[in-house]
Structure 1
């Protein structure tokens, strides 16, 4: 049997998946004839790298983004599974994300890439380690304790241990657990290994093999990880942030052009996952959250990013080239009448593109600025919090497409609103609220921020859900498939969604 795959980066992702699945199937075709050309004996690092990057972008932009964007009220669910998520009912979901996109996708492939490339081309291994750390952070941030140090070892360990989240972040020598920070440091060392004889090219769909940008990605990832645990372990967070800052101002992402993003296309099968799901397949499931709409209308004039994030009722599905109509929001888990499709504010050009080509954002310039603004206040690290705060807003506005003239007018009209003042907590609230706005299109990052800080101050939905104890859920349920297949290693008592993860210290 022949399997025909289109020549595209998602097609190469599919090829990588076929190769992995094939590794555990029959060793030989009948008499070695009718060989499958899409199942070669070895997978090249180039094929693996493309697949890892595409899978990572897909995982961040797909169902994990849908649920987190609802929980942090960028979007509102108005039908089907989205409405269920919006009411904090999360049980029985995310098997595909755990098994296909993470453990059976990006994580097993990063292990293969590292093993194949470590001795022969450390640059590939280094990228694999950075993306492995990013994907493990995604998994542990959403679920808490997860398989980590023993994960993705293939037949060597089919029932990996669930490592404690504090060990994943901090390391544990007794259990031979390498911290996420050390995994990133190891990746950076590999990228800069003098024995590198070749670098990725078109197979690297994030940076095209640019060594300098991968260094910036790795150092910015260290800032992200430190920021996540900053309230649980401020000493470690401070040490890591100072370590990064000591490398110099250019060691991290400092321009939008250096952002770590995963590109998508306009053809069916290659489109941004939010476009494919929310525009093409399930146009009746979600619309703009009233909470998010009200927040962008708090200053005067309205935040100029609004028409890029969400459409008006006059634009369907996404464009900023036609006259603006009215923005229409919906209460999260609301009971009011749902507007007809033509009268809803739907996913805008920044989130999904005109035809599905919008990239998924992993690490960004605005994120770096907001992290350093917060840490200057809470940890005493270097930098002027007000300048960094404004830098983050300007970077976000520029990124979504707001003109310099409109940015300048917005700042001139909202000086008090855009000035950090009051107590440290009030200043952090202002920073995190702007960071929440900037992350529209990626719900994972503001979901982390909300859980660790309580900002922005979101409304609790009115539909009572005993499992969430009338609070926004603090984690996801473990997938049923993992619990039933790895019972000897899974937690004896499965936490409810109301139980905070280790780094979430908020009451």
Structure 2
């Protein structure tokens, strides 16, 4: 692996060490000012930072809340019974998102602009939009248009989530859609004849400098954002989906997924692997009995690829379980190589071919956008199973032998439930995306955890603002919305 890869991984690893840090960091002030740092150094650290934020504590929260995993101890055990508050996710907000990936993208854009390097600004704007979507999807209204300007605006306002997604010209708020479009326009400029700016190479850990693939990823990101708002603004969602389909430039192969790789050595591994197999928290998480039951009921061939079965048996607990845990812990079922790779190389999958297929299948039914829902649904299952490591023959045989899974039946709403349930299975390892879909659609149907507590025993539908920001920035609401308060795009 390249030196740049290891530099990027070390940046992500630095975040891990902050889990016990008590020092305050103003998230709206650049923690350093690397005026001499080149785009080629900033790009890998920024992208790995986003992947780390997606796959670290926020993923553990999401995976437990949607019952892919169960929490056996520490924070995951609290999440499993819906207990979360402003003391959670401080490191994710301050160090991984605002003080990490987002400020790095901002610095990358500023640095690349000095040499008119549109290739770098294009990638940075696309990934900046994705990273801001993480923040707003988790917390709702967040600093956005005034964020990352610490010297000028040390206490930024919170922009409404609907303005972050839709834009608000009067308030000077650019939509996430337009931020991605701006990035795509930069990439078009970088691939036009006569371009003289710098282009990435092996410092691009995702596509190794292939800007066409970055364009496909950006357009597929537009589809993801469209799906997110499809129930509250179907007109916007329909318009964006038709725009992308007309351009016909999106991820349509697993080889073009927006994947971020990690390293195989301790200190550079995928955070999902490190947490469950390397750190002192290795017995915090275990496969959920409920998810095991779903996969087994479907005869799903991804099960042994997604999760380990030491001794040939799946060892699980129910969500919210508070009894004696299975012993020895070496028998516990945890993420397998299809999720975290061999010895933790990942990758973390941010935008995938199977997501695109399931998004378009749902949209065809819900919005009437182009495409055959059944064909797109089959494409999504096939892409997910192939990604897990199944052969074409195995996938074909499974679909033929399991028609109740393979064939969409019933009303449009029942078909959408099937689509989202298969997407939910395919999203194993990406708890935030699975949680987003659950909040948005209500699918799959999930029963409350045992011993459910939290706010009225209800499953969290947002994270509570972190205490440090509420205390330092008067623009944050005090008291904060609690974990049972829906975000704007949630209707279920």
Residue of structure 1 in register with 2:250 after alignment: 252
RMSD: 2.1
CA change 1:338–1:7 in 2 (3 A) is closer
Q: CA separation in 1, counterparts of 2:277 and 2:266?
A: 12
1:196 and 1:70 map into 2 onto residues whose CA distance is 48
**CA contact 2:103–2:148 (8 Å) conserved in 1:** yes
Residue number in structure 1 paired with 2:420: 432
Q: Show the counterpart of 2:125.
A: 129
**Among candidates 80, 91, 96, match of residue 96 of structure 1:** 91
Distance, in Å, in 1 between the alignment partners of 2:30 and 2:136 is 27
Separation (CA, whole Å) in 1 of partners of 2:320 and 2:391: 35
1:97-112 map, 5 Å = 97-112=92-107
Residue by residue over 1:229-276, the C-alpha shift from the partner in whole angstroms, topping out at 9 and shown as x without a partner, is: 10011010000000000112xx00000000001101111111000111
- Give the counterpart of 1:304 among 301, 312, 321: 301
Q: Which residue of the partner structure matches residue 393 of structure 1?
A: 381
1:321 matched residue in structure 2: none
Query: Cα distance, 1:462 vs. partner?
Result: 2.5
TM-score, normalising length: structure 1: 0.89
Looking at structure 2, the residues matched to 216 and 236 of structure 1 have their Cα atoms a distance apart, in angstroms, of 20
Specify the alignment match of 2:403 in structure 1: 415
Greater RCO, CA 8 A, separation 6+:
2
Judging by fraction of residues, say which structure has more helix: 2
Q: What stretches of structure 1 move > 4 A for 4+ residues in a row?
A: 12-17, 23-26
Equivalent position of 2:206 in the other structure: 206
- Which of 1 and 2 has greater Rg? 1
Partner of 2:288: 289
Check conservation: 1:12, 1:50, Cα contact below 8 A: no
In structure 2, the residue matched to 1:474 is 461
Q: Does 1:454 align with 2:442?
A: yes
Provide the C-alpha distance between the structure 1 equivalents of 2:119 and 2:30, rounded to a whole number of angstroms: 28
* Mapped partners of 1:495, 1:434: distance in 2: 32
Residues 256/382 of structure 1: CA separation in 2 closer, same or farther (3 Å cut): same
SS of the residue corresponding to residue 362 of structure 1 reads strand
For residues 409 and 102 of structure 1, what CA distance do their matches in structure 2 show? 43
1:480 shift after superposition: 1.0
2:229 corresponding residue in structure 1: 229
Aligned to 2:74: 80
CA distance in 2, matches of 1:41, 1:365: 37
Match of 1:320 in 2: none
CA deviation profile, 1:350-397 (whole Å, cap 9, x unmatched) = 122231111101000000000000000000000000000010000000
Contact 2:124 2:183 in 1 (8 A): yes
What are structure 1's unaligned runs of at least 5 residues?
A: 27-38, 315-324
Counterpart secondary structure, 2:342 = coil
SS at match of 1:146: coil
Relative to 1, partners in 2 of residues 1:14 and 1:296: Cα closer, same or farther, differing over 3 Å? Answer: closer
Equivalent of 2:134, from 119, 131, 138?
138
Q: 1:42: how far off?
A: 1.4
How many correspondences in the alignment? 471
Name whichever of 417-426 and 117-126 sits farther off: 117-126
Q: Secondary structure at the match of 1:154?
A: coil
SS in 2 for 1:355: helix
- Partners of 1:16 and 1:428 in 2: CA distance: 38
Q: How does 1:143-222 map to 2 (within 5 A)?
A: 143-193=139-189, 194=192, 195-222=195-222
How far the C-alpha of 1:43 sits from its partner, in A, is: 1.4
Is the Cα–Cα contact under 8 Å of residues 270 and 344 in structure 2 kept in the other structure?
yes
- The offset of 1:134, in angstroms, is 0.1
* Counterpart-to-counterpart distance in 2, 1:399 and 1:459: 29
1:445 aligns with 2:444: no
Deviations 1:449-504 (A, max 9, x none): 0001000001111213242x222111001111111111x21124410100000000
Structure 1 residues 15 and 439: CA distance shift in structure 2, 3 A: closer
Structure-1 separation of matches of 2:484 and 2:133: 20
TM-score, reference length from structure 2: 0.92
Q: Does 1:333 align with 2:320?
A: yes
Q: In the superposition, relative to structure 1, how do residues 266 and 303 fare at CA in structure 2: closer, same or farther (>3 Å)? A: same
Contact 2:71-2:77 within 8 A present in 1 as well: yes
Whole-Å Cα distance in 2 between the matches of residues 25 and 410 of structure 1? 52
User: Which residue is equivalent to 1:30?
Assistant: none
TM-superposed CA distance for 1:24, in Å, is 6.8
SS in 1 for 2:148: coil
Shift of 1:347: 1.6
Quote the offset at 1:186 in angstroms. 0.3
